Amino acid sequence: MNLVFALAAAILFGIGAYLVLQRDLVRLVLGVAVISQSAVLTLLAASLRLGAAPIYPLPEGTLSDPLSQAMALTAIVIGMAVTALLLVLVFRVAVAFRSDELEEVAGEEVSLDARLEETEGEAHEREEAAAR
């Protein structure tokens, strides 16, 4: 059974890594979300041990470990918060640059930096001329 969980986590991680390497920003966010869920599955698979609930008075026999389940729940919450933040950032980039393709955004950013350097260079030259 652990082999099934390990294979599922590996497949999810592979899919997430493939999506992160894409040039589309939405696919990048989906890749991060899939990798996050792969980590949750790994946490749950690592603690896959049947036993009674550790509630006092403690029953006899093996007990299950609630720490890994608490860590998985925390990882789910943090993963969803990161996904929400990334989706808002992608939305803001798509509105500002009118594109969600990484190469188009990078090209627009380079041209914007070149225009900014040109205007700042002209302003700096005027300030130096006025100081003389």
Dump pLDDT digits (tens) for 56-83: 877 788 877 788 888 999 999 999 999 9
Looking at per-residue pLDDT, the higher value among 123 and 89 belongs to: 89
- Which residue is listed with tokens 């696919």? 27
CA 85 vs CA 27, 32, 34, 79, 113: distances in Å: 14, 12, 15, 10, 26
24, containing H or E segment: none
Q: What is the mean pLDDT of the chain?
A: 88
Residue 55, phi-psi category: left (phi > 0), alpha (psi -120 to 50), beta (remainder) = beta
Does 32 have pLDDT greater than 90? yes
Angle CA 14–89–114, to nearest 5: 105
- Identity of the residue numbered 6: A
What is the pLDDT at residue 49? 75
Quickly state the pLDDT bin for 34 (edges 50, 70, 90). very high
pTM of the model: 0.75
**Percentage of residues of the chain with pLDDT beyond 90:** 42
Give the bridge partners for 63, in sequence order.
52
What is the pLDDT at residue 67? 84
pLDDT in tens, 96-122: 888 878 788 888 888 888 888 888 888
Cβ neighbour number for residue 74 with a 10 Å cutoff: 12
Range from 2-6, 23-27, 80-84, 112-116 that averages highest in pLDDT = 80-84
